[in-house]
A and B are shown apart, each in its own frame.
Chain A
């Protein structure tokens, strides 16, 4: 597992490194996308796509992974931990006297590689960007996703209800072969937080904040054939394990010749020479696919 350790003090909403799409301009010009934030005051998720290229001769494929889960369960935090090995404590913005968690803390489009013994998986991670808040997620979001991380907060019972809703939604809308991982996050808030060093760090006086037992969630995950993990984005516990497990669970067959969004489960794989790279230089474009 490659983790990008570059220090990244802030989130950049709107930061989206590119998938390996043939429309990806960065394949022509490797300019690293500088993240953009709507306003400087907002929590920002720094996007790094300047991962050092592991020059391994192993086959490499892209996998679209979508995040789903109730607000504030830690979706973006898990990705931030996985991609940048970083964690942000909530700023708890008070707006008009109300405490809100900002919905645009979207790790809107990050990529991270996962090195397996026989192959490299490059995750193209899509965050919901808040469109799920009012049940307004676009079908495009699920389109050709090969993996999904459905996150709940194991200190918050409603979040498991919501997670089950998302699992059902994925089973209805997403590609049939999608690998779904159910993730109970914020394990550090429980007594058995997994990491010895984090034990006693928080929540020891207040006791165990766990509201959803491992057994309950695990039983549900087994019933629905989901991968299951309890994690802490805060301590990093089990985070890379989730992604590695997903990478391992993706069937080899569905990895063949993946290229760009839509490639994996395309109804028709023919006529690829007709695919176009809108970002490419115009002369080069005539030669067809840039990859």
Chain B
């Protein structure tokens, strides 16, 4: 076995996506990184697992039986633990391209983005319109509303935060999004799918927040630009599952000298005068296990490595379901995102259904994986909260529903103790909040803004 250096610039704990992006970027920037995970696999909470692992994780089978054997080779399954998709014009895509991690991965479009109107037996599912033309054809709106929606979408396209002439006479430093909708006379149902299926807000608090309208418009634009990029939906997805993403960034880090160690548990974080200075750890999985101690200028990690330094900010409910058919109402799409806005089903938080299939090499042919998720609003009967989403799935072959998943955030920003902790993967359907967290941690830890554009070229130039 190799030796661990006595000192690193950075020790990173956990190989979730946030940690792997940071590790990769820091290594490219010339920092000496030691990257550790207590698990024997990459990805932490952002891993993709096979069906056997999933059954064992949820324990929903009779001792002595092997239900996964009915579903082909376990290795053909790559089931995400976190249901998310990438916005094709989003920040994660930008980081992937700037770091060239795209070369290890292959992406496919998600075939459709849908929204539900009404509930129960009256529930209908329709494609989310992304441009003025689609708005005019959409069954989501009546004839007059279509025109209002068209002029709203066109306005979003021309909106310029710095040009008051495009602000429709509103003072956008104070205006709320509700006032913007009022200006266009949009109906409640239209506001619902704009805010929830395009701006991708999880609840309605954005409506009344003063000065937040430009942010909402930006989010609607991101949606529109992402659809415009490839055509079918704003989402893309990596073949073999989201777990490929942390692996790709880990490889980037390793190529630039990062040292990787799975199966290593942190026995103690060492402090000096309140500041973290290093770790004591044990690498298992080998005989004999290897104990070591090493120093670092700062430590990054996911919440699970620092239970006393994080707080719970909410709970996500999630049901992973195996189907043998596509989602009804999606035109047999091999993959889809369906958003059920909260108000349509009498909730405060939206319900998301993400569905992918063998087209993305996450399961054998003929199968579909649908993940229903939402933010918990009650303390019991969680399956009832997910029910409107489960109702959309038809016959479910297998369902994996665990206890509510706590969402953690760090108590402090890390500048006092040199420990910079990431947030849990939240309930949003995409990675925009994850990349916000990456930027935020990078700024806190290094005192600089993270600029990924030209990251590798920059180095190459300075090399010459």
Q: How far is the CA of A247 from the CA of B175 in the complex (A)?
A: 65
Chain B CB within 10 Å — which of A40, A143, A263 has the most?
A143
- On chain A, the residues within 8 Å of B42 by CB distance are 138-139
Q: Check A271/B108 contact, CB under 8 A, given A71-B2, A136-B260.
A: yes
Q: How far is the CA of A14 from the CA of B107 in the complex (A)?
A: 23
Q: Check A268/B358 contact, CB under 8 A, given A38-B27, A129-B251.
A: yes
Which residues of A64-94 have CB atoms within 8 Å of chain B's CB atoms? 71
Closest to A287 in B: B231
Q: Is there an interface contact between B102 and A14, defined as CB atoms closer than 8 Å?
A: no
Which residues of B211-251 have CB atoms within 8 Å of chain A's CB atoms? 228-232, 236, 239-240, 244, 247-248, 250-251
Q: Is there an interface contact between A279 and B97, defined as CB atoms closer than 8 Å?
A: yes
Q: Is there an interface contact between B255 and A129, defined as CB atoms closer than 8 Å?
A: yes
Q: How far is the CA of A140 from the CA of B365 in the complex (A)?
A: 21
Which residues of B264-294 have CB atoms within 8 Å of chain A's CB atoms? 264, 283, 285-286
A118 to chain B, nearest CB (A): 28
Instruction: Say if the beta carbon of B6 comes within 8 Å of chain A.
Output: yes
* Mask of B81-112 contacts with A, CB within 8 angstroms, 1/0: 00000001000010011001011111111010
Q: Is there an interface contact between A268 and B365, defined as CB atoms closer than 8 Å?
A: yes
Q: Is there an interface contact between A40 and B1, defined as CB atoms closer than 8 Å?
A: no
- On chain B, the residues within 8 Å of A262 by CB distance are 106, 239-240, 361
A188 to chain B, nearest CB (A): 26
Instruction: Say if the beta carbon of A135 comes within 8 Å of chain B.
Output: yes
Partner of B103, one of A24, A270, A285: A24
- On chain B, the residues within 8 Å of A23 by CB distance are 102-103, 105-107
The stretch of B295-303, B320-328, B455-463 that contacts the partner chain: B455-463
Chain A CB within 10 Å — which of B2, B76, B236, B260 has the most?
B260
- On chain B, the residues within 8 Å of A143 by CB distance are 240
Q: Is there an interface contact between B359 and A16, defined as CB atoms closer than 8 Å?
A: no
- On chain B, the residues within 8 Å of A131 by CB distance are 250-251, 254, 260
* Mask of B17-46 contacts with A, CB within 8 angstroms, 1/0: 000000000011010000000000110000
Q: Is there an interface contact between A134 and B283, defined as CB atoms closer than 8 Å?
A: yes
- On chain A, the residues within 8 Å of B156 by CB distance are none
Instruction: Say if the beta carbon of B262 comes within 8 Å of chain A.
Output: yes
Q: Is there an interface contact between A285 and B230, defined as CB atoms closer than 8 Å?
A: yes
Q: Check A34/B254 contact, CB under 8 A, given A278-B102, A278-B107.
A: no
Q: Is there an interface contact between B231 and A286, defined as CB atoms closer than 8 Å?
A: yes
The stretch of A102-110, A193-201, A210-218 that contacts the partner chain: A102-110
Q: How far is the CA of A34 from the CA of B460 in the complex (A)?
A: 6
Chain B CB within 10 Å — which of A100, A104, A274 has the most?
A274
* Mask of A116-144 contacts with B, CB within 8 angstroms, 1/0: 00000000000001110111101111010
Total number of A-B contacts with CB less than 8 angstroms? 164
- On chain B, the residues within 8 Å of A285 by CB distance are 229-230
Q: Is there an interface contact between A129 and B254, defined as CB atoms closer than 8 Å?
A: yes
Q: Is there an interface contact between B262 and A136, defined as CB atoms closer than 8 Å?
A: yes
B431 to chain A, nearest CB (A): 14
Instruction: Say if the beta carbon of A18 comes within 8 Å of chain B.
Output: yes
Q: Is there an interface contact between A267 and B365, defined as CB atoms closer than 8 Å?
A: yes
B201 to chain A, nearest CB (A): 26
Instruction: Say if the beta carbon of A223 comes within 8 Å of chain B.
Output: no
Interface size class on chain B is 35 or more
Q: Check A36/B97 contact, CB under 8 A, given A19-B103, A129-B251, A267-B361.
A: no
Q: How far is the CA of A260 from the CA of B285 in the complex (A)?
A: 34
* Total number of A residues with any Cβ neighbor in B under 8 Å: 57
Q: How far is the CA of A288 from the CA of B1 in the complex (A)?
A: 47
- On chain A, the residues within 8 Å of B239 by CB distance are 262, 266
Closest to B233 in A: A274
B53 to chain A, nearest CB (A): 12
Instruction: Say if the beta carbon of A236 comes within 8 Å of chain B.
Output: no
B267 to chain A, nearest CB (A): 16
- On chain A, the residues within 8 Å of B6 by CB distance are 96
Closest to B86 in A: A278
Instruction: Say if the beta carbon of B424 comes within 8 Å of chain A.
Output: no
- On chain B, the residues within 8 Å of A271 by CB distance are 108, 334, 359
- On chain A, the residues within 8 Å of B247 by CB distance are 138-140
Instruction: Say if the beta carbon of A276 comes within 8 Å of chain B.
Output: yes
Instruction: Say if the beta carbon of B181 comes within 8 Å of chain A.
Output: no
Q: Is there an interface contact between A267 and B358, defined as CB atoms closer than 8 Å?
A: yes
Q: Check A140/B244 contact, CB under 8 A, given A129-B251, A134-B262, A286-B230.
A: yes
Q: Check A275/B104 contact, CB under 8 A, given A36-B456, A133-B2, A268-B358.
A: no
Q: Check A276/B236 contact, CB under 8 A, given A133-B259, A286-B229.
A: yes
Q: How far is the CA of A268 from the CA of B361 in the complex (A)?
A: 7
Q: How far is the CA of A45 from the CA of B1 in the complex (A)?
A: 24
Instruction: Say if the beta carbon of A148 comes within 8 Å of chain B.
Output: no
- On chain A, the residues within 8 Å of B229 by CB distance are 276, 282, 285-286
Q: How far is the CA of A282 from the CA of B107 in the complex (A)?
A: 15
- On chain B, the residues within 8 Å of A109 by CB distance are 103, 255
Instruction: Say if the beta carbon of A37 comes within 8 Å of chain B.
Output: yes
Chain A CB within 10 Å — which of B251, B262, B334 has the most?
B251
Q: How far is the CA of A230 from the CA of B349 in the complex (A)?
A: 64
Instruction: Say if the beta carbon of B433 comes within 8 Å of chain A.
Output: no
Q: How far is the CA of A71 from the CA of B229 in the complex (A)?
A: 44
Q: How far is the CA of A1 from the CA of B200 in the complex (A)?
A: 54
Partner of A267, one of B28, B76, B460: B76
* Mask of B361-405 contacts with A, CB within 8 angstroms, 1/0: 100110000000000000000000000000000000000000000
Q: How far is the CA of A16 from the CA of B261 in the complex (A)?
A: 23
Can you list 12 A-B pairs, Cβ within 8 angstroms, ordered by A? A21-B103, A104-B255, A106-B255, A130-B254, A133-B259, A135-B262, A140-B247, A267-B365, A268-B359, A274-B111, A276-B108, A278-B88
Contacts A139-B247, A270-B359 known; list 12 others, CB within 8 Å.
Answer: A18-B103, A21-B106, A22-B106, A25-B97, A35-B460, A36-B28, A135-B262, A271-B334, A274-B111, A274-B334, A278-B88, A282-B228
Chain B positions within 8 Å of A, measured between CB atoms, are 1-3, 6, 27-28, 30, 41-42, 76, 88, 93, 96-97, 100, 102-109, 111, 228-232, 236, 239-240, 244, 247-248, 250-251, 254-257, 259-264, 283, 285-286, 334, 358-359, 361, 364-365, 456-457, 459-460, 463-464
Q: Which A-B residue pairs are the 4 nearest by beta carbons?
A: A129-B254, A136-B260, A138-B247, A140-B247
